[in-house]
Amino acid sequence: MSKSTIGTFRREVVMESSEKTAWLSVLTNLLLVGIKTTVAGICSTILITWFFSRYEHEKGKETGFPSLVADAHHIWTDMLSSLVLLMALLGSAMGFALDKYAAIIVVMFIARSVTTIFTNSVRVLLDASLDHRSLAQIREIVLADPRVTEIQNLWARNAGRYKFIELD
């Protein structure tokens, strides 16, 4: 090989190397912009779902609609899942492989939410008894009436958003 051929080859390698570096820089910048946009989107989703789940939960408790409370739990789980996914995304951007751990945590959130919603739904469907605090409050209100001298038995149950009370 002549010196001119080696020189030409070196220039081509250097130019090809600098082109690759430029493309790599462009791709890195695009990825960073994409990650920033994705993180901003996930953060806004987390905030919106947090506010909405709290609002829906309060309204469900206030109106006595168990379906609203259950939906608020569902949305809360979505928010927690988004939070875990955000952490996994940021971890991946920093070089940590957190995807499988994030998936396990999300599955645990879903399982807990399913258990809570199922338990509350069964209580509603089976006309479950009121809690002890509510029973004590009912007893106190009834005994405050001067026409009532004593309460022998007190039964109370839920049926959806309605409460049925029987006294002896």
Specify the higher pLDDT residue, 109 or 57.
Answer: 57
What does the pLDDT look like over 46-103, one tens digit per residue?
999 999 999 999 999 888 787 788 889 889 888 988 899 888 888 887 888 888 898 8
What does the pLDDT look like over 7-50, one tens digit per residue?
454 555 444 555 656 556 665 665 666 778 888 888 999 999 99
- In Å, how far are 39, 102, 119 from 32, measured between CA atoms? 10, 21, 44
What does the pLDDT look like over 140-168, one tens digit per residue?
999 999 998 888 888 888 766 678 888 88
- How many CA atoms, within 13 angstroms, populate the side-chain half-sphere of residue 58? 6
Element containing residue 117 per DSSP (H, E)? helix 99-125
Give strand ranges (E) for the chain: 154-159, 162-167
Please, what's the b/e burial string for 147-161 (b: 16 or more CB within 10 A of its CB; e: otherwise)?
Answer: eeeeeeeeebebeee
Structure confidence at residue 30 (pLDDT) = 58
**70 with 95: CB under 8 angstroms?**
no
